[in-house]
């Protein structure tokens, strides 16, 4: 297993010391000031429940909150129907997070030594760049609830920090069809039925705000379509027992990684399948074990016009899979551990960079408008293309462990460790450990108050991210990616 070098650890000591000092100062104040918290505003205004009824801490769901969501945001009584709601009730929550953060990363820096006409910037050297300051997260508008008994909806317009909006979630649900909890259908753009939810995690840093296991792609791989953490477009069947102890789901998805307007492979589909079972362990609370499979195919060839890929023309479908096991173990009312494993495998064509010839890969998140295969655009599997003899199907194993200590519904401590390990590279001769990831995240989150109108959380977070062979390149040397980020933020909603 790859570990941080001693020199890297020494560089992290000042940051870790600052984080520890901050923690020691905050903890006594937080504990003294703790008092009971109420519920998340949008649904609290409807049902009058306390925060702890549905959440370990907002927005992380407990078992009751999971059941409430599985029932289509219903408690299964008369108060579910809109006709019984107060006309002044407006099921909308606004959420944004002002932050201060300190971010450190490696970069290839011009030294201006050895300047020539052909090389006006001289030589380069790898240096650590550290910056700090105040910033903003994006803005979310959460709205959801029942349109009629057993018919519900959820809409989430979301923007980045520059107010560029998109629809993160848009879905309609039909629940308890034929009066059975085993028959529930939803359609739209939605989060996959991940037992460990990325959309309800509290991490705010660049690498701690996602689960690496859900998004891992081997170096040079062109398959963006199997990212479990992204909301996907499709239709999902969900069934569960009356007490929600047994849950199954099956989703039919367009293989477009949630991108609208059929801009990618318009004729390829994927399936996401889950099963989990909970066991009541008495004083140890409810334990849950599950399994999942994300299998499908996606395009590797896009027809072109003047050499430019035509959106929606994707063909040449190739297969991929993501399978794993997930668990939630509760050790009494205050401590729980969540564990996710994943074995991923892509077709050899994806391993050689084919797949996302239109949208984002290799073009900095901007639609690729130049000829596929040119700088900034991935290769395109045009007729007659043959894979090199060294090509093979890349495979890997991922692991995520998240431990939570809930001192009270107001105060929670979270630690996350993730490891992504290549099992087989997409090209023979590639270093076995290229792309391997270690990710560490530590969070303290405190809710001074949470009423049925508004809520506020104070958060301190420290993240360390390490990936082999993906850092800046100088000459023949490519460094590892090695970032760290310290963040202090106020996460509020209304």
Residue 39 above 70 pLDDT?
Answer: no
Summarize pLDDT for 17-37 with one digit per residue, the tens. Answer: 444 444 433 433 333 333 333
What does pLDDT average to over the chain? 84
How many CB atoms are located within 10 Å of the residue 430 CB?
20
Beta-bridge partners for 124: 110
Rounded Cα distance, 483 and 371, in Å: 33
pLDDT value, residue 15: 45
Summarize pLDDT for 95-148 with one digit per residue, the tens. Answer: 888 999 999 999 999 988 888 887 888 888 999 999 999 998 888 888 888 888
Rounded Cα distance, 485 and 21, in Å: 16
CA distances for 239 relative to 250, 276, 340, angstroms: 9, 11, 22
Residue 269 above 80 pLDDT?
Answer: yes
Q: What is the largest CA-CA distance in the chain?
A: 79
Give the dihedral sign, CA 329/331/332/337: negative
pLDDT value, residue 370: 55
By CB neighbour count within 10 A (0-12 exposed, 13-18 middle, 19+ buried), where does 156 fall? Answer: buried
By CB neighbour count within 10 A (0-12 exposed, 13-18 middle, 19+ buried), where does 289 fall? Answer: middle
Spell out the residues 6+ positions from residue 223 whose beta carbon is closer than 8 angstroms to its own.
217, 298, 320, 346, 347, 350, 355, 356
Rounded Cα distance, 444 and 455, in Å: 17
In CATH, what number does 6-493 get?
Answer: 2.40.160.10
Domain boundaries, the chain: 6-493
> CB–CB of 239/227 below 8 Å?
no
């Amino acid at each position: 297993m790859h570990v941080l070098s001693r020199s890297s650890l020494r560089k992290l000591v000042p940051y870790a010391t600052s984080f520890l000092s901050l923690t020691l100062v905050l903890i006594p104040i937080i504990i003294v000031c703790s008092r009971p918290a109420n519920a998340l505003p949008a649904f609290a205004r409807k049902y009058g429940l306390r925060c702890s009824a549905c959440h370990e801490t907002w927005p992380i769901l407990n078992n009751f909150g999971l059941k409430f969501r599985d029932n289509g945001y219903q408690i299964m009584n008369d108060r579910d129907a809109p006709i019984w709601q107060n006309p002044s009730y407006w099921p909308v929550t606004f959420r944004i997070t002002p932050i201060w953060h300190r971010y450190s990363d490696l970069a290839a820096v011009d030294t201006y030594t050895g300047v020539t006409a052909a090389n006006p910037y001289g030589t380069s050297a790898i240096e650590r760049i550290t910056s700090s300051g105040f910033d903003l997260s994006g803005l979310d508008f959460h709205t959801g609830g029942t349109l009629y008994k057993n018919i519900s909806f959820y809409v989430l317009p979301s923007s980045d920090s520059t107010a560029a909006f998109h629809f993160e979630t848009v879905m309609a649900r039909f629940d308890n069809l034929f009066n059975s909890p085993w028959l529930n259908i939803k359609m739209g753009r939605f989060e996959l039925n991940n037992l460990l939810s990325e959309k309800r995690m509290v991490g705010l840093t660049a690498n701690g705000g996602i689960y690496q296991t859900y998004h891992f792609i081997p170096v040079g791989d062109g398959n963006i379509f199997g990212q479990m953490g992204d909301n996907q477009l499709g239709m999902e069947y969900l069934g569960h027992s009356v007490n929600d102890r047994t849950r199954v789901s099956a989703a039919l998805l367009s293989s477009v990684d949630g991108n609208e307007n059929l801009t990618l492979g318009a004729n390829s589909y994927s399936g996401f399948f889950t099963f989990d079972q909970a066991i009541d362990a008495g004083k140890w609370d409810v334990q849950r074990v599950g399994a999942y499979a994300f299998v499908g195919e996606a395009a590797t060839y896009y027809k072109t016009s003047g050499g430019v890929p035509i959106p929606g023309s994707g063909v040449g479908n190739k297969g991929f899979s993501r399978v794993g096991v997930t668990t939630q173990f509760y050790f009494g009312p205050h401590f729980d551990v969540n564990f996710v494993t994943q074995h991923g495998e892509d077709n050899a064509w994806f391993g050689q960079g084919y797949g996302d010839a239109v949208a984002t890969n290799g073009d900095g998140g901007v639609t690729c408008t130049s000829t596929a295969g040119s700088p900034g655009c991935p290769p395109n599997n045009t007729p007659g293309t043959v894979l090199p003899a060294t090509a093979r199907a890349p495979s890997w194993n991922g692991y995520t462990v998240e431990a939570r200590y809930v001192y009270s519904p107001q105060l929670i401590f979270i630690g996350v460790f993730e490891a992504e390990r290549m099992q087989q590279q997409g090209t023979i001769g590639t270093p076995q450990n290229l792309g391997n990831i270690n990710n560490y995240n530590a969070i303290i989150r405190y809710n001074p108050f949470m009423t049925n109108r508004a809520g506020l959380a104070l958060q301190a977070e420290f993240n360390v991210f390490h990936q082999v062979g993906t850092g800046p390149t100088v000459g023949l040397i490519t460094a590892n990616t090695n970032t760290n980020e310290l963040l202090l933020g106020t996460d509020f909603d209304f």
